Amino acid sequence: MLKLFKSSRCQSCYTERAIRVCPRKRKNICWQCCNETRCDTRCPENCDYAPQKEESKPFPSFKADSRAEAENAIKCHIDLWMGRENPFLKNKTPAKEASENPQEMLAWLSGFQYPVYFPMDYLLKKLDLPFTPAEKKEDPEDCVEKWMKTLIQLKWNELRQYSINQSSMEDLAERYTELIQAIPQLGKVSTYSILYSGLGEDGISALVYMELNHKIDWTLVLSNITGSWKIRQNIAGSPQAYFKQNQIYTAIAEALGKADDAKVWELINSSLKIYPDSPDLYYYRALYWQLVKQREQAAVDFFNAIALDNSWTEPYLHLSAHYFVKGDYEQAKIWLEELKILQPDDPNVLNNLAAAYAGNGETEKAKELWQEIVQKYPAFEYARKNLEKLQ
């Protein structure tokens, strides 16, 4: 199990974060130094991270807290394995067997099953055997690595492609970039190390926990809804902070329900330091602005919430309602048309959109849409009454 020693350095390399105790070295070490040690498969059995060998398999299995660690561990082992006499190969070294009998070596290697993280391309290249690069299925860490490399280069405008936000609205793309760029820790990142990654029980969510600049705890939350992993959220802390979010949101909602604006403001401001791109917090802050009669500020934060989660429908409803109240039917129409893409079969959304068309002078569009609603949802009285008024 991952065991962090606050921000203590590895007592072996003095560079990376110490995350576990090594019984061989009798030191607190990082996973990189752990791999360099355990790759020789000589760790004591009482070590939780000792490689597990099976007589029928050519390579041991390595317990790891991330795909990066698992892949690195087997690469370190392969480097040693290459030059060791191997009983599977009549006590020849794999390097020698591959040189003398490349086809037989390939056939032998093909006779085993390998874990998903196994670096087969690396193995075949080390053995100087022919291979076609494997088509790798992207995992959460691949997405994080792309995000982090882009971030380190300060290519802010390119980060959104790795996020869940794929709306074609340029305003949303620009605002997303502005909000991410405003997170102070992200503008100073020069190094990162993945400490832990794990999938949620639903199979479509994941957490990747990192250390930035050898001192800052950082967690990225990812989702896989459309078949590829995307960044959903940044958290300035460990995965423990992720599991505390709902409790915080509940406290904010309760304070809003009591109209305790001072408490709401305090909770949101303190939480944004930990959850700097949380759409929920911007949404709640918009509700706070409404509570204190600052409606223009509320509109800004509803927009921010949409920019941070393009598929969350509640902020669209509030933002379009804001423009209805102002009599700005053009803006109301824009946000309702976007909402219609997300909820094409919601008669309330369609009815509001028709009302925006009518208010904007687009009576034919309004009439057509209300007729469509009446036909598809005959029990929806609002559309019928609105159509009668229009006629």
pLDDT at 7 over 90: no
Residue type, 3: K
Tell me, yes or no, whether 54 and 107 share the same domain: yes
- The C-alpha atoms of residue 157 and residue 143 are separated, in whole angstroms, by 16
Average pLDDT over residues 316-324: 98
b/e map 23-59, b = 16+ CB within 10 Å:
eeeeebbbbbbbbbbbbeeebeeebebbbeeeeeebb
Domain boundary among 94, 126, 158: 126
Nearest alpha-carbon partner for 290 in 256, 323, 341: 256
pLDDT given at position 16: 96
- The C-alpha atoms of residue 235 and residue 210 are separated, in whole angstroms, by 10
Residue type, 250: T
Classify residue 178: in a domain, yes or no.
Answer: yes
- The C-alpha atoms of residue 73 and residue 77 are separated, in whole angstroms, by 6
Tell me, yes or no, whether 117 and 151 share the same domain: no
Tens digits of residue pLDDT in 36-45: 999 999 999 9
Tell me, yes or no, whether 152 and 266 share the same domain: yes
pLDDT given at position 85: 96
Where is 214: in which H helix or E strand?
none
Which residues are CB-neighbours of 349 under 8 A, at least 6 positions away?
A: 317, 336, 339, 340, 343
**156: domain CATH number?**
3.10.450.50
Classify residue 11: in a domain, yes or no.
Answer: no
Tens digits of residue pLDDT in 336-361: 999 999 999 999 999 999 999 999 99
Tell me, yes or no, whether 144 and 261 share the same domain: yes
Classify residue 9: in a domain, yes or no.
Answer: no
Structure tokens at 33: 């130094």
**377: domain CATH number?**
1.25.40.10
Q: What is the DSSP letter of 347?
A: H
Domain boundary among 269, 297, 325: 297
- The C-alpha atoms of residue 108 and residue 238 are separated, in whole angstroms, by 43
Tell me, yes or no, whether 143 and 274 share the same domain: yes
Tell me, yes or no, whether 107 and 159 share the same domain: no
Tens digits of residue pLDDT in 273-295: 999 999 999 999 999 999 999 99
Tens digits of residue pLDDT in 159-175: 999 999 999 999 999 99
Tell me, yes or no, whether 219 and 104 share the same domain: no
Tell me, yes or no, whether 180 and 57 share the same domain: no
Nearest alpha-carbon partner for 319 in 350, 352, 343, 281: 352
Average pLDDT over residues 97-113: 95
pLDDT given at position 253: 98
pLDDT at 1 over 60: no
Kindly list the strands in the beta sheet with 230-235, ordered across the sheet, starting from the edge strand earlier in the chain: 192-199, 205-212, 216-223, 230-235
Tell me, yes or no, whether 291 and 324 share the same domain: no
Tell me, yes or no, whether 202 and 100 share the same domain: no
Classify residue 2: in a domain, yes or no.
Answer: no
Within 10 A of 182 (CB to CB), how many other CB atoms are there? Answer: 11
Classify residue 8: in a domain, yes or no.
Answer: no
Domain boundary among 126, 161, 189: 126
Given CA atoms 371, 372, 373, 376 in this order, what sign does their dihedral have?
positive
**Chain mean pLDDT for the chain:** 96
Tell me, yes or no, whether 164 and 40 share the same domain: no
Structure tokens at 222: 């990812």
Q: Show the domain range for 37.
A: 20-126
pLDDT band at 6 (very low <50, low <70, confident <90, very high): low
Tell me, yes or no, whether 155 and 226 share the same domain: yes
pLDDT given at position 3: 63
Please state the domain count of the chain. 3
